[in-house]
Amino acid sequence: MRDDHGRRRSGRNRPGAAPSSLLSPLLRGVLGVIGGGSFGTGVCAVFLTTNGTGTGVLLAIGAVLLVFALLGNRIESFEVGGASLRLRAAAAERYQLADASELAGDQDTADALRAEARSLLEFAGPIAAEYGAIRRSMRGGADRTAAMSGVVDDVRRLAAQRDFQPSAVREWLRGGTDGERVVALGMMQTRPELRDFDAVLAAVSRPRSPFEQYLGLVLISKMVDDLGPAELHRLTGTVAAQWDSGMRRGTDRRALADDIIHRASERITAWRTESGSGSGATAGTGAGADGAEAPGTTPGPSDTPRAPHEPHASSASETADARGQGPADDGAGTDAP
Residues in the chain: 337
Residues 277-285, mean pLDDT to the nearest whole number: 44
Residue 48 lies inside a defined structural domain of this protein: yes
Q: Cite the DSSP H helix spans in the chain.
A: 25-48, 52-71, 83-103, 107-119, 125-137, 142-159, 166-175, 178-190, 197-205, 210-223, 229-241, 252-278, 316-323
DSSP 8-class letter at 206: S
Question: Does some domain include residue 35?
Answer: yes
* Residue 70 structural domain: 25-74
State mean pLDDT over 191-218: 94
pLDDT of 248 = 80
Q: Are 204 and 107 in contact (CB under 8 A)?
A: no
Considering only residues 59 and 291, tell me which one the structure prediction assigns the higher pLDDT.
59
Instruction: Provide mean pLDDT across the span 74-100.
Output: 57
291: left (phi over 0), alpha (psi -120 to 50) or beta: left
Is residue 228 a part of any domain in this protein? no
Helix (H, G, I), strand (E, B) or coil at 88: helix
Q: What is the pLDDT of residue 51?
A: 56
What is the per-residue pLDDT across 35-76, written as a single tens digit (0 to 9) for each?
566 656 655 655 666 655 555 555 566 565 555 555 544 444
Q: How many CA within 13 A on the CB side of residue 214?
A: 28
Whether 169 maps to a domain, the answer reads no
Cβ atoms 194, 170 nearer than 8 A = yes
In b/e form, how buried is each residue of 283-322, taking b as 16+ CB within 10 angstroms?
eeebbeeeeeebeeebbeeeebeebeeeebbeebbeebbe
Count how many domains the chain has. 1
Question: What does the longest C-alpha to C-alpha distance in the chain come to?
Answer: 88
d(CA 253, CA 243): 10
Quote the CA–CA distance of 307 and 256 in Å, as a whole number: 12
Determine, yes or no, domain membership for 162.
no
pTM for this entry? 0.55
Q: Is 168 inside any structural domain? A: no
Domain membership of residue 45 (yes or no) is yes
Q: pLDDT for 156-196, tens place per residue?
A: 987 888 777 787 788 889 888 899 899 999 999 999 999 99
Q: How many CB atoms lie within 10 A of CB 110?
A: 20
Give the mean pLDDT of 210-236: 94
Whether 59 is in a domain gets the answer yes
Q: What is the pLDDT of residues 308-320, one digit of tens each?
A: 333 333 333 333 4
